[in-house]
Structure 1
């Protein structure tokens, strides 16, 4: 398996230089690797520990966090529920979603449910509320670099993501046995949101689809974030920034007997944000593909139905 030659960028770099480099990486791969993101490594280690402890609980215990009819927006989603758009086999994964809690009476509360917190493990809520804020901060810094690269003001995305419907997903891919049939851990897909920030997993398996049609392995260095473009940003930028197909393949040999844990932060705009093509991304060679705008929540609901999380 060939490795994607994605450059490793520093979030501590001078803003203009970072914006040029991150824009080049996104245009080439739809992905970037980012170090110096400022998220405390001790906090990350504790989050990994709690994630493993959460999913080690009996299914009956985890199902207490399952809320039917919500599209998995908060709390637990059982094993083999989600399916990649256009796929027939459901993914070999289970997950828990942590979102943004809004104050009572907030105008967006109808589209953003309150969090569901597990009874165990202890300190779960404290750790993941803190980590959510840290992901939010790092994501805003990356969006600022994207804005500069697109010729926008560095604060262009600030209002778009204020009280945004971002989700921190704690993922568990159990060991893979012969009963899995033709299913894989995560079928080929593109993300829904603006950008995804992913803490690297110990177990390999994440791959992107190169422009030449080959699958390329993504191998982030320890402590780095994998960042990729989602479909909302692809639409907003009229495909100037591409949302790249990726998957998590099944392990082989001895590694098939090990669980894989992953922790993506799906950075979403606020639910009422109008996804309207940026004029800076329209030209004679790249005419507007999306003359009709759509709200972020409208787009999200469409996609949740397509991936089997809503009926």
Structure 2
């Protein structure tokens, strides 16, 4: 049996006014239906911004634990600031993930949330540029998703405007011997609308195919991996697939890894109840109950046991 491949979508084609745009939208939509993932290449994010973001992220994660700990805010359940190694545990798993991370959210950019790390002054301007570029890209992708789904082009963009979208800087350290059953990121699905993932510094991402096999996601510089989150799966009554994925441990215990997923969230009051036209398109039976984005996020944060 031939292993599935992850379709590639051209960002410039999505911006065009030619037949290439319609082909790109069709490829994007069909990929999210069948695989739940696609690769964006080329994309509009500056390679220099990505390079600098990884550089300053590495500087922050290299700080002493005592310095990083002052940016931990348990009341935010990991939605802003620093979360230490072992602070997140996937739903249904008894051991925590082998990662630490820093979250930059919408409120950070507007100066109303958690503080920025003072020890690395360049962190804020670099991450602000990256966040803004990823958000602009995400809005184009959300518009294409809406068009494929037969909705107004601003349908999903308007939901995400003002939402607490999160840029996660994830550090998977070289940890040597690991507890039995522990992974860098145990199998899970994303919570949000869509996720954009700039190329990581090392491999490890795998997705679970419909055949029950783990498929390594092989990417290179110049590509962004995009996937459906559970919230968009809900809205589309399962037409767009939120696919299980994981980050496996490296063969060498000395290999660290950095990644930068960008989780696009709707505003808390957004209704995630499947819409009628997409219920009809998926067999006529609602697959998900009515729920708001705020209630859904609270439920999922409790399930993944963020400490």
3-state SS of 2:38 partner: strand
The equivalent of 1:281 in structure 2 is 278
The equivalent of 1:117 in structure 2 is 116
Call closer, same or farther: CA 1:4–1:122 in 2, change over 3 Å.
farther
The equivalent of 2:226 in structure 1 is 227
3-state SS of 2:259 partner: strand
Cα separation, 2, equivalents of 1:194 and 1:251: 29
Asked whether the equivalents of residues 3 and 219 of structure 1 are also in contact (C-alpha less than 8 Å), the reply is: no
Cα separation, 2, equivalents of 1:4 and 1:256: 29
Call closer, same or farther: CA 1:183–1:210 in 2, change over 3 Å.
same
Asked whether the equivalents of residues 16 and 148 of structure 1 are also in contact (C-alpha less than 8 Å), the reply is: no
3-state SS of 1:294 partner: coil
- Consecutive unaligned residues in structure 2, runs of 5 or more: none
Cα separation, 2, equivalents of 1:113 and 1:121: 20
Aligned-residue Cα RMSD (Å) equals: 1.9
Tell me the CA shift for residue 4 of structure 1. 5.0
Call closer, same or farther: CA 1:77–1:113 in 2, change over 3 Å.
farther
The equivalent of 1:268 in structure 2 is 265
- Deviation string for 1:168-201 (max 9, x for gaps)? 0000001132243321100000000000000111
- Consecutive unaligned residues in structure 1, runs of 5 or more: 105-111
- Deviation string for 1:1-38 (max 9, x for gaps)? x9751122111104322210101111121000002321
3-state SS of 2:246 partner: strand
Asked whether the equivalents of residues 275 and 296 of structure 1 are also in contact (C-alpha less than 8 Å), the reply is: yes
- Deviation string for 1:72-110 (max 9, x for gaps)? 111000100101111111000000000012899xxxxxx
3-state SS of 1:96 partner: strand
> Would you say how many aligned residue pairs link Structure 1 and Structure 2?
299
Q: 2:293 aligns with which of 289, 293, 296?
A: 296
> Higher mean Cα deviation, 19-28 or 206-215?
19-28
> Higher mean Cα deviation, 21-30 or 275-284?
275-284
1:99-248 equivalent positions in 2, closer than 5 A:
99-101=105-107, 114-248=113-247
The equivalent of 1:37 in structure 2 is 43
Structure 2 length normalisation: TM-score?
0.93
Tell me the CA shift for residue 153 of structure 1. 1.6
Q: Which runs of 4+ in 1 moved over 4 A?
A: none
Cα separation, 2, equivalents of 1:55 and 1:272: 34
Asked whether the equivalents of residues 73 and 113 of structure 1 are also in contact (C-alpha less than 8 Å), the reply is: no
Tell me the CA shift for residue 221 of structure 1. 2.8
Cα separation, 2, equivalents of 1:237 and 1:37: 26
Task: Note if 1:92 corresponds to 2:89.
Answer: no
Cα separation, 2, equivalents of 1:233 and 1:18: 19
Asked whether the equivalents of residues 143 and 157 of structure 1 are also in contact (C-alpha less than 8 Å), the reply is: yes
3-state SS of 2:27 partner: helix
The equivalent of 1:108 in structure 2 is none
Cα separation, 2, equivalents of 1:163 and 1:232: 16
Cα separation, 2, equivalents of 1:281 and 1:233: 12
Tell me the CA shift for residue 207 of structure 1. 0.1
3-state SS of 1:20 partner: helix
